[in-house]
């Protein structure tokens, strides 16, 4: 059963991945804005009477279409990353231990059960390995 720190580590990895994708989206959006500004400048120059070859418009528009496709793909990637995953299958139960005829020694200290989630913890644990809540005063 994964513990609190395992879940925390996975959450940190997901947050880092989301941050990278968001940064990629911002960079693509900035590049789109730059191309839009260049396109506007071409239109301004044309409006002032300068002859602008159609290839210049086409080059900028093609670049904008490519950037927009990349940005949309990143948005889908971000949505997929945020989509909750199915919980992992529970770990198989441990095999039963065969009983022995020898007398058993004095019982070892039992673990501490978390009052929040009911998970069993080691006797010396201060925080629950499952949910991370403090296990209380001893």
Asked if the structure places residue 98 within a domain, the reply is no
Residue range 124-134: mean pLDDT, rounded: 80
Q: Which pLDDT does position 82 carry in this prediction?
A: 87
Asked if the structure places residue 28 within a domain, the reply is yes
Has this prediction a pTM greater than 0.95?
no
Tens-place pLDDT, residues 61-110: 999 999 999 999 999 999 998 887 666 566 666 666 655 555 555 444 56
Asked if the structure places residue 3 within a domain, the reply is no
Question: What's the total number of domains in the chain?
Answer: 1
Asked if the structure places residue 111 within a domain, the reply is no
User: Residue 121 and residue 48: Cα distance in Å, rounded?
Assistant: 77
Q: Which pLDDT does position 110 carry in this prediction?
A: 67
The angle at the Cα of 32, spanning 27 to 37, to the nearest 5 degrees, equals 125
Question: Residue 127 in 3-state DSSP?
Answer: strand
Asked if the structure places residue 51 within a domain, the reply is yes
pLDDT band for position 2 (cuts 50, 70, 90) = low
What are the distances in angstroms from CA 48 to CA 36, 45, 52, 76?
Answer: 18, 5, 11, 41
Which two three-digit tokens encode residue 43? 């239109």
User: Residue 20 and residue 32: Cα distance in Å, rounded?
Assistant: 18
Tens-place pLDDT, residues 22-58: 999 999 999 999 999 999 999 999 999 999 999 999 9
Asked if the structure places residue 25 within a domain, the reply is yes
Is the CB of residue 91 less than 8 Å from the CB of residue 70?
no
Q: Containing domain of residue 25, as a range?
A: 13-82
């Amino acid at each position: 059963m994964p513990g609190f720190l395992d879940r925390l580590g996975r959450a940190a990895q997901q947050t880092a991945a989301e941050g990278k994708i968001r940064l990629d989206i911002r960079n693509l959006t900035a590049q789109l804005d730059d191309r839009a500004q260049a396109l506007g400048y071409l239109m301004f120059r044309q409006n002032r009477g300068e002859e602008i070859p159609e290839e210049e418009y086409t080059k900028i528009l093609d670049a904008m279409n490519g950037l927009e496709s990349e940005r949309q793909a990143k948005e889908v990637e971000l949505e997929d990353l945020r989509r909750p995953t199915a919980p992992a299958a529970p770990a198989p139960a441990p095999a039963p231990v065969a009983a022995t005829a020898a007398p058993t020694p004095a019982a070892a200290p039992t673990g501490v059960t978390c009052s929040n989630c009911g998970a069993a913890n080691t006797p010396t644990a201060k925080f629950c390995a499952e949910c991370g809540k403090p296990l209380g005063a001893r």
